[in-house]
Structures are given as structure tokens and as C-alpha cells.
Amino acid sequence: MAAVKALAMARGVRLGSYSIGRNRSLIFNSVQRRGIAACIDPSIGLTDEQKEFQKVAFDFAANEMAPHMAEWDLKEIFPLEAMRKAAQLGFGGIYVNPDVGGSGLSRLDTSIIFEALSTGCVSTTAYISIHNMCAWMIDTFGNNEQREKFCPDLCSMRKFASYCLTEPGSGSDAASLLTSARLQGDHYILNGSKAFISGGGDTDVYVVMCRTGGKGPKGISCLVLEKGTPGLSFGKKEKKVGWNSQPTRAVIFEDCAVPVTNRLGAEGEGFTIAMKGLNGGRINIASCSLGAAHASVLLARDHMCVRKQFGETLSNSQFLQFKLAEMATKLVASRLLVRQAAVALQEGRPDAVSLCSMAKLFVTDECFSICNQSLQIHGGYGYLKDYAVQQYVRDIRVHQILEGTNEVMRMIIARSLLTES
């Protein structure tokens, strides 16, 4: 039903046509013109409905994102209007309930969409995925008043959201966070700072994990803070290796008064809410890596078919054929794991948390290796900014670090193996 809504909305949106530069054209038209071998086709095994919204997402990526992805990266443009167009297709609140403006799709559907979108721009899609996670947290843990207040504007992307967990002194050990919220009448007085916040400074709604009680995870609550609140300020925009189409800033709270009515869930439930958000976030970010890897396999294949050395195309080198075959195999294995984890999370299965961690660990590592190998196959050209492959490499490198580092993923998986019976 919701997918039908997305498709109906898609028909109402004019997908613009752009004059694409020499290399963009070479890169992205080749992906579309040459077709995709069945063995790596991301639509294989999907329902007709899933294939339809996957196509909508691929078309949006090709027409509305890919032509701009290099410029957004170079000029560090946060493409608000492009994202609002994506929201018109239902991509602002993909797994948010329809009664507050969401598309009501499943985690698997969401993964399919983020994989397709990220072929057009990983960085922008990754921000959209964080925004979706925040909207889902409010939809799931908020009361009706909170859901109605925040979710419709987030799903339409009239407003944008940020997820605020990390602090300068607490990264992997997130439960040691120090930002404090002291109850005073019908408000919390928030003090502290958050580091590395995606969208920070340019977004409107901040989902903040803060300490209302004692040490450890049980002392943490989750507050929703709106831009414009006195005492809320931002650090300088960070200069990053990738993810340049979205700003990253510190978020600073100095005696910010946040209404108690903006607390999601009960006091002390904030860490659980944050981790539940991240389970889906990990599938989403892995899906963004998949899209980059998918595009990079096709770019490598196309380059091998046209580049000649030693009197023949690179595609005649068995060494490179084997590399391409390995890349394709890693891609498909990664996709299978992401989709398996998405289904487990959707069904609330007991293996869901571990599978989400496994997917994040395996897929972000393997997809980085695929993109990096594709760059290698491009030789010196792969190192030029005229070629998209270097941007996929730069953009997905951080997926091994954020939403829980891949070392933290190993901790979660090992804990499950050693403590569950």
C-alpha cells in the first residue's frame, strides 16, 4: 500500500534531465546502457512491487543525484532540495508509519531503496538514512502528540533531523556519555556537547541522548531538541575525507531548556532507544556501502572492456577477470547478508541484533575492498576526481567507523556467541 503511494507520488514528480559532463556521462551512462549481469542484478528475487520502487530509486539516483555528486562533494553542498524531492517519493520516512506521513515500508524494502539511491551519491543517501533513523525513533518511541508534532515534517523533509550520541570523550563507549539533563519544573536543562554530528548546524531537529540519572546506560534519556532553542550552538564545519555533501559539526548545549514533553520514552530508556535506532541504522549504512560497491563493480567492468594495454583490453587479463569475479562474489554475499539481517530485524527475531552487527561489519569491510579494487583496476585514472570510483572509496570508508565501529560490531557478535545459549 505504502509502496503504491511512493510510486504514485513518483509519477507526480518530474525527474529532470541534466547535461552531464564528459566523465559523468561516461561513468553513469555506461552503468545504465550496458545492463547488468543476472548474477549481480540487485532486483533478482524481489517482488514486483519491490522491483518497482527499486526502479524509482535507481532512476532518482541516476537523474537527480549522480549528475551532481561530484559537485556536491567538491563544493560541500548539502542538497536540501534534492532530498526534498526524494521525500516526495516517500524516502524521507521509509519505515515510518503512514498515519504520520511515512511510507510504512519494511526494513528489507528500505535496504533496497538505500542501495539504489547510493549509486547516485553515497554521502547524501547516508544522511537520508540517518534522518530516516531519527524519524523512526520518534515514530516508535514517541507518544501520539510527539509523533504528530515531528514526524510529518520529517517525512516530507520540510525539516531535517540529526542523531546525537557521540561526545568528545565517549565514542565507542557511548554509554559513558556526560551531557546532562537536569529536571527543573516542566523542562530539562541540558548541558554538554556532542561530536561528529551529521547534519549538525543545518538541521532542525536534534535527537539527543543525555544523562538524567546515574552512571551507565540506565542513566540515559532521549530528548528531542529544536533548532533555535536558546543555548544551542554548533562547532565549525569539519573538513572530511568523504561524506562531503553533508555537514558534520559539534553540537553544544549551554543551559538549553527542553520541555519534558519532548522526552522520548521514560527516563532511563534513552540508551535502549539509541541502540534500537542503530540496529536499523547499521543495515541502512551497509546498504549505502552496497550501492557504492555495485556501481564500482560495473565501473571496473566497463573500464576493463575499453582500456587497452599490451595490445589488448584489460578484460583479456585473467588476473583482472579473477579480481572482477571476486568483487562480484563479495558484492552478492554482502547483499544476501544485509537482506537477511533486514528480514530478521523486521520480524523481531532473536538473532536480529547480531545479524545487523554482522551485516554492518562484513558488508562495510567487503564493499570498501570492492570499491578500492575497482579504483586499482582504473589505474591512475581511478585516482582522478574526474572518475566517480574515487568518490565511492572516500565516501564509504567512514562506514567502517560510524554507527558503531567495526571493532564494536565484533564485540556485539562475540558477546552474543559467548553469553547466549
Ligand X SMILES: Cc1cc2nc3c(=O)[nH]c(=O)nc-3n(C[C@H](O)[C@H](O)[C@H](O)COP(=O)(O)OP(=O)(O)OC[C@H]3O[C@@H](n4cnc5c(N)ncnc54)[C@H](O)[C@@H]3O)c2cc1C
The residues that touch ligand X, with contacts defined as CB under 6 A, are 130, 162-166, 171-172, 196-198, 240, 243, 248, 398, 401-402, 405, 407-408
In whole angstroms, the minimum distance from the beta carbon of 217 to ligand X comes to 15
160 or 243: CB nearest ligand X = 243
Question: Can you say how many angstroms the Cα of residue 94 is from the centroid of all Cα atoms in its chain?
Answer: 12
- The number of beta carbons lying within 10 Å of the beta carbon of residue 44 is 12
275 or 314: CB nearest ligand X = 275
In whole angstroms, the minimum distance from the beta carbon of 411 to ligand X comes to 7
109 or 167: CB nearest ligand X = 167
Contact 388/69 with Cβ under 8 angstroms?
A: yes
In whole angstroms, the minimum distance from the beta carbon of 195 to ligand X comes to 7
Listed in sequence order, the residues at least 6 apart from 316 whose beta carbon sits closer than 8 Å to its beta carbon are none
- Residue 296 pairs in a beta bridge with none
151 or 197: CB nearest ligand X = 197
314 or 398: CB nearest ligand X = 398
| Dist. CA 108–CA 342, nearest whole Å | 5
Catalytic residue from among 167, 403, 407, 420: 403
In whole angstroms, the minimum distance from the beta carbon of 81 to ligand X comes to 22
In whole angstroms, the minimum distance from the beta carbon of 48 to ligand X comes to 35
Compute the CA torsion angle 394, 396, 402, 404 (nearest 10 deg).
-140
**Whole-number Cα distances in Å, 313 to 5, 306, 375:** 46, 6, 17
- The number of beta carbons lying within 10 Å of the beta carbon of residue 384 is 11
Crossing angle for the helix pair 406-419 and 352-377, to the nearest 10 degrees: 140
196 or 271: CB nearest ligand X = 196
Residue in the shown chain whose Cβ atom is closest to ligand X? 171
| Dist. CA 87–CA 202, nearest whole Å | 17
| Dist. CA 197–CA 247, nearest whole Å | 8
Q: Quick check: is 64 catalytic? A: no
Among residues 61, 129, 57, which one has the least CA distance to residue 92? 129
| Dist. CA 234–CA 249, nearest whole Å | 6
In whole angstroms, the minimum distance from the beta carbon of 314 to ligand X comes to 34
| Dist. CA 317–CA 178, nearest whole Å | 56
| Dist. CA 280–CA 282, nearest whole Å | 5
Look-up: residue for cell 564494536? 408
28 or 136: CB nearest ligand X = 136
220 or 331: CB nearest ligand X = 220
Q: Are strands 232-234 and 308-309 parallel, antiparallel or unpaired?
A: unpaired
Crossing angle for the helix pair 389-397 and 352-377, to the nearest 10 degrees: 150
In whole angstroms, the minimum distance from the beta carbon of 162 to ligand X comes to 6
Among residues 96, 136, 116, 102, which one has the least CA distance to residue 50? 116
Question: Can you say how many angstroms the Cα of residue 143 is from the centroid of all Cα atoms in its chain?
Answer: 26
Cell numbers describing residue 72? 556536491
In whole angstroms, the minimum distance from the beta carbon of 244 to ligand X comes to 10
Among residues 127, 14, 131, which one has the least CA distance to residue 77? 127
The residues annotated with a catalytic role in the active site are 403
